[in-house]
Structure 1
Amino acid sequence: MKVRLLIADDHDLVRDAIAALLRAGGCDEVAVAGTLPEALAAVQAAVQAGGGYDLVLLDYDMPGMDGLEGLAQMKRAFPAQAVAIISGVARPAAAREALEAGAIGFVPKAMPARSIIGAVTLMASGSVFAPFDFLKQEEPPVQGGLTARETEVLRGICAGRTNKEIAREMDLQEVTVKLHVRTLTRKIGARNRTHAAMIARENGWF
């Protein structure tokens, strides 16, 4: 079966690695994009050329996505296009919301290579892919009396993001993120960002 894919992810190395994996797994054509606007333009061009993609993979955290709003934009613009979310940081709740919002599937980047190929092939054929082991995970509440925004900043720190990257994803000023970092580290008794991430991981907050 000929399979045409579009992978949209702003991390070049990750995007190219996934693209190479899928090409090696038998996908005939794998196009790439780095932002949601680029992905929308690529789908538009494919539709105008008389085709389209069998599947579009959108990274949950790339520029322009704004959580699942990017999925909604893609579905509004191209209702017939099969769209899946791929992510290395999204929580099980976000995956469930993506499926409820019309995504044909959710693919954790931590899945084994063979499983990713199988999931993409399944979705490209029109079937929904739901990683049940991931979706049924319980999400323990964050401790330390953090606000919702401080919790998201801490989540970004645990994912290895810089203050600038966190600010971009949360649509905040970098100085605001720095203030949140200072406050949350004090609340949980951390010496610095690295120690805050260690405390979060040790307590299983994310």
Structure 2
Amino acid sequence: MTDPIRLLLADDQALVRGALAALLDLESDLTVVAQVGRGDEVVAAAREHRADVALLDVEMPGLDGIHAAALLAQQVPTCRSLIVTTFGRPGYLRRAMEAGASGFVVKDTPSGMLADAVRRVAAGLRVVDPALAAESLASGHSPLTARETEVLSEALRGGSISDIAHALRLGQGTVRNHLSSAIGKTGARNRSEAAQIAAQQGWL
């Protein structure tokens, strides 16, 4: 009999982690060996517990799941990552796959399908929610430059032009230029709306 696939669960909601653990532990070939509530605890836990697959939420304190997947790919390549999120946004899917994640599914995936996704990821395959994959292809890449993305991320926090300039060490005129360009690319009326649109698309 082969050893069960060792799973690490990373989600900042304890209730969600507990439910996922209970469901996955019902499978004879899967075992949950660790649970963490922060993205910056993922790499250490994966190493310590010799996890085969890490199931990562996108939005977590410390480090988001996409960055955690990138760190795992670099530092613990024996542990593959599967993004399991409420936020089924095409931009998130694209960024997760570019970061090195092996799969991307939404949290309302039936438990049997989730277990199967874990097995496929553990076997070295890629698994993507089909509806999201189609939407991602239709929506295309983010039109924003790296700097526009940074500026909008700061704008999303409600910062003024001065705050954004200070945080990113840019001139206020430069910030205004980047915001103006981002507003045009998102078809928004102002910087607040541009930031909201970009966040909804998963570009930030």
Scaled by the length of structure 1, what TM-score is found?
Answer: 0.63
Report the counterpart of residue 147 of structure 1 in structure 2: 193
Q: Distance in 1 between matches of 2:7 and 2:65?
A: 22
Deviation at 1:143, TM superposition (A): 7.7
Structure 1 stretches of 4+ moved >6 Å: 141-144
What residue identity is the alignment partner of 1:104? S
Q: Percent identity?
A: 34
Deviation at 1:152, TM superposition (A): 6.1
Q: Distance in 2 between matches of 1:41 and 1:86?
A: 20
Report the counterpart of residue 44 of structure 1 in structure 2: 47
Report the counterpart of residue 117 of structure 2 in structure 1: 119
Q: Distance in 1 between matches of 2:80 and 2:126?
A: 10
Q: Distance in 2 between matches of 1:149 and 1:63?
A: 20
Q: Distance in 2 between matches of 1:101 and 1:42?
A: 19
- Structure 2: runs of 5+ lacking an equivalent: 140-184
Kindly report the root-mean-square deviation, in angstroms, between the aligned alpha carbons of the 2 structures.
Answer: 2.6
Preserved contact between residue 42 and residue 68 of structure 2 (Cα < 8 Å): no
Preserved contact between residue 88 and residue 132 of structure 2 (Cα < 8 Å): no
Report the counterpart of residue 49 of structure 1 in structure 2: none
Matches within 5 A, 1:128-143: 128-137=126-135, 138=138
1:25-81 Cα deviation digits (max 9, x unpaired)? 2344202111122222212213xxxxx212111111111234622222222221332
Q: Distance in 2 between matches of 1:149 and 1:101?
A: 22
Q: Distance in 2 between matches of 1:152 and 1:25?
A: 38
Report the counterpart of residue 96 of structure 1 in structure 2: 94
What residue identity is the alignment partner of 2:195? R
Report the counterpart of residue 7 of structure 1 in structure 2: 9
Q: Distance in 1 between matches of 2:37 and 2:66?
A: 17
Q: Distance in 1 between matches of 2:24 and 2:114?
A: 8
- Structure 1: runs of 5+ lacking an equivalent: 47-51, 156-169, 171-206
Preserved contact between residue 86 and residue 107 of structure 1 (Cα < 8 Å): yes
Secondary structure of the equivalent of 2:104? strand
Q: How many residues align?
A: 150
Preserved contact between residue 60 and residue 90 of structure 1 (Cα < 8 Å): no
Secondary structure of the equivalent of 2:113? helix
Q: Distance in 1 between matches of 2:10 and 2:127?
A: 18
Secondary structure of the equivalent of 2:17? helix
Matches within 5 A, 1:1-206: 1=2, 2-30=4-32, 31-46=34-49, 52-66=50-64, 68-137=66-135, 138=138, 145=189, 147-151=193-197, 155=200
What residue identity is the alignment partner of 2:73? K
